[in-house]
Amino acid sequence: MNRLLCTTLVKYSERNGIKANGPLLWRAFSVSGCNRQAEPETSRESQHYDIIIAGGGMVGTALACALGKNTRLQNKNILLLEAAAGFKQPSTEQYSNRVSAISKGTHRLMQTIGAWDEIERTRVKPVLKMQVWDACSDALITFNYDDFSENISWIVENDVLLASIYRQLETVPNVRVRYSSKIASCELIRDGADKSTVRLADGETLKCDLLVGADGYNSLVRRQMGVQNFALAYNQMGVVATLRLANGPTDNVTAWQRFLPTGPIALLPLSDDTSSLVWSTGVAEAKRLLQLDGDSFVAAVNAAFHKPMPRNSLVDDVMKGVNTLVKQTTGQRLEAAPVVETEVDKSRAAFPLGLGHTGTYVGQGVCLIGDSAHRVHPLAGQGVNLGFGDVQTLVDVLADANYAGLGISNLSELLKYEQARLKHNVPVLLTTHSLQRLYSTDFVPTVALRSIGLTLTNAFPPVKKFLMNYAMS
């Protein structure tokens, strides 16, 4: 009787255009006592998905989870493809050297998909204050909410973030994750295909209504779209490490960033006595830092934060006048960054830095998110937050389109996603690029102008609050 009921359901679904491998139908099978032995009858159909996401990093995995948990999209079959062999659990005993400064917008997204509780149970450190200062002058700026009543961000290890999202993804029935699935090529509707098509390295072919490129700044999906992509190498590398602070546990809730002539160096809190280093510098210097022994590396970090840099008397005179003008408004003085005691677990690594932005994010049946669409310098901590912003906007657009019966591959609907994200992403990209150029020189007029601008901005709390809220939205 159960077998007959299963067969009837399959035939009914085929006559009415319902995919027999959809999660709702399979749940109906399981309720009636039918098992997965019926799946081979629909093996050809199982190669089609409503949405395929190429790339299982933080942004791609978050998109899969957010799509699957959205009540207006739960009738969609979603596939997440990841080239890595499997999911790697974060260490419970040591910190990862790659971290992200989570904005309020990302915090809301993590709460929406249920991942934030898991993040808090694992490891997260709130940031209540940020101090940024210029090594070539007295200019500084601080960011914090009144009476430190609100976090301006949260520092989370990338491994912890990904693991927390993945644990939520495991509970989503209409999302399938496939590891060791390297994409060899893809064909889009614009190429003449009736559906977006993905061909894996093992020869398997998958089709979908919407292909999402979340496969990084060397995105295969973006290249297949044939869109213009502006890329600029900064000839810099970001050196990262986990560092233990001197003087024992403290109230470590401040993010510190000093702009050196060679690039910014930042210290981000991980715990009461541990911080994460992100040091942007030239390629040759980065390679030298990686080769230093532990004591020499710690000495170099402390010098970068505390050693006085050569100063120009003209800049000093200009800044005296500016400080005299605004000191009654600000009343702020430079606080010394904490002294580093030792490196933790030989955690040093380095990665290249650059800028990238594609000419368009969408096409018929295809779209880009995260680093596939844009890449920024880490000096403002905005890279992954831009990607998570893409996720939230795309999910909202697709949910509305599906609810209205317009389809998830409709180009006019996908353009709503593109337009919304361009309005936010482009200003951030331009700002970070301008800051990178502005603070990568010790040319006297430039130092004077940037110092005046930083000091005046710091003198007007409404301006600072606007910048802080925009960056952390």
Q: Beta partners for 255?
A: 130
How far from 133 is each of 137, 257, 377, CA to CA, in Å?
A: 8, 7, 18
How far from 333 is each of 255, 336, 363, CA to CA, in Å?
A: 16, 10, 51
pLDDT at 328: 52
Segment holding 155, helix H or strand E:
strand 153-157
Query: Which of 119-128, 266-275, 456-465 has the least mean pLDDT?
Result: 456-465
Report which of 353, 346, 242, 349 is spatially closest to residue 287, judged by C-alpha positions.
Answer: 349
Phi, psi of 65 (to 5 degrees): -70, -45
With respect to residue 3, please indicate whether it lies within any of the assigned structural domains. Answer: no
With respect to residue 23, please indicate whether it lies within any of the assigned structural domains. Answer: no
Q: Give the tokens for residue 75.
A: 């009738």
Number of domains in the chain: 1
Q: Name the 3-class secondary structure at 296.
A: helix
Q: Beta partners for 254?
A: 129
With respect to residue 217, please indicate whether it lies within any of the assigned structural domains. Answer: yes
With respect to residue 39, please indicate whether it lies within any of the assigned structural domains. Answer: no
Mean pLDDT, residues 77-99 taken together: 88
The pLDDT tens digits for 182-240 are 999 999 988 777 899 999 999 999 999 999 999 999 999 999 999 999 999 999 999 99
The pLDDT tens digits for 227-286 are 999 999 999 999 999 999 998 778 899 999 999 999 999 999 999 999 999 999 999 999
Question: Across all residues in the chain, what is the average pLDDT?
Answer: 87
Mean pLDDT, residues 18-33 taken together: 36
DSSP 309: P
With respect to residue 167, please indicate whether it lies within any of the assigned structural domains. Answer: yes
C-beta separation of 340 from 298 below 8 A = yes
Q: Name the 3-class secondary structure at 226.
A: coil
Mean pLDDT, residues 392-404 taken together: 97
With respect to residue 27, please indicate whether it lies within any of the assigned structural domains. Answer: no
Q: Name the 3-class secondary structure at 11.
A: helix
Q: Give the tokens for residue 33.
A: 């006592």
pLDDT at 332: 65
pLDDT at 146: 80
The pLDDT tens digits for 141-154 are 999 888 777 899 99
CATH number of 101's domain:
3.50.50.60
With respect to residue 268, please indicate whether it lies within any of the assigned structural domains. Answer: yes
The pLDDT tens digits for 331-378 are 567 899 999 999 998 889 999 999 999 989 999 999 999 999 999 988
C-beta separation of 357 from 429 below 8 A = yes
Q: Which residues, 6+ apart, have CB-to-CB distance to 2 below 8 Å?
A: 32, 33, 34
pLDDT above 60 (res 5)? no
Q: Which domain holds residue 356?
A: 47-472
Q: Please spell the DSSP secondary structure of 396-427, one letter per residue.
A: HHHHHHHHTTS-TT-HHHHHHHHHHHHHHHHH
DSSP 439: T
Query: Which of 71-85, 192-206, 290-304, 383-397 has the least mean pLDDT?
Result: 192-206
Q: Give the tokens for residue 106.
A: 């990302």
Chain centroid to CA 53: 16
Burial of residue 232 (CB within 10 Å: 0-12, 13-18, 19+) is: middle
With respect to residue 12, please indicate whether it lies within any of the assigned structural domains. Answer: no
pLDDT above 50 (res 19)? no
What is the Cα gyration radius of the chain?
25
Q: Please spell the DSSP secondary structure of 27-59, one letter per residue.
A: HHHHHTT--GGGGGGGTTGGGEEEEEEE--SHH
The pLDDT tens digits for 298-340 are 999 999 999 999 889 999 988 888 888 876 555 567 899 999 9
pLDDT above 50 (res 24)? no
Q: How far is the C-alpha of 272 from the C-alpha of 302, rounded, in Å?
A: 18
Segment holding 154, helix H or strand E:
strand 153-157
Q: Give the tokens for residue 275.
A: 């911080």
Q: Give the tokens for residue 53.
A: 């996401």
